[in-house]
């Protein structure tokens, strides 16, 4: 039985796809001699760069890349972006642990008040 991530494109694959597109564009630029085709390739290169320039520094995307066992830190272009994604994950985990502890304390003293847990992933 296949996992759904293998049947669908997941967010963590975005950076791989973008890097593949950029690589293909570089190769096409080296061999295309037709001015119209060259202009189209340059247009695509510009659009991809503009639309996906923040892929590695987007909080949600970076955490998805780090958590995907297929990619982890291999897809990042610099140590700085790897460290930034790690920091974001550590902050989120620390916040979840803190919320869980508060919830447990409240449960023990206030008959199960779960208000803190509702905001766990905000």
pLDDT at 23: 92
Q: Where are the domains of the chain?
A: 4-118
- pLDDT of 71 reads 82
> What is the structure's pLDDT at 122?
44
Question: What integer pLDDT is reported at residue 94 of this predicted model?
Answer: 93
Summarised one tens digit per residue, pLDDT across range 56-77 is 889 998 898 888 888 888 888 8
Q: Going by C-beta distance under 8 Å and a sequence separation of 6 or more, which residues neighbour residue 120?
A: 96, 99
> What pTM did the predictor assign?
0.63
Q: What is the mean pLDDT of each run of 10 residues along the chain (122 residues)?
A: 60 86 92 92 92 88 87 86 93 92 76 49 46
Q: Are 38 and 32 in contact (CB under 8 A)?
A: yes
pLDDT of residue 5: 52
Specify burial of residue 19 (Cβ count, 10 A radius: 0-12, 13-18, 19+): middle
């Amino acid at each position: 039985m296949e996992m759904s991530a293998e049947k669908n494109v997941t967010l963590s694959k975005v950076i791989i796809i973008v890097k593949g597109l950029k690589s293909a564009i570089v190769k096409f630029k080296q061999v295309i001699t037709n001015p119209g085709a060259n202009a189209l390739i340059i247009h695509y290169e510009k659009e991809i760069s503009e639309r996906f320039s923040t892929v590695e520094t987007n909080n949600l995307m970076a955490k998805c890349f780090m958590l995907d066992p297929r990619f982890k830190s291999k897809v990042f272009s610099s140590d700085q972006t790897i460290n930034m994604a790690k920091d974001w994950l550590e902050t989120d985990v620390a916040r979840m642990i803190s919320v869980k502890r508060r919830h447990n304390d409240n449960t023990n003293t206030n008959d199960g008040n779960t208000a803190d847990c509702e905001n766990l992933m905000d």
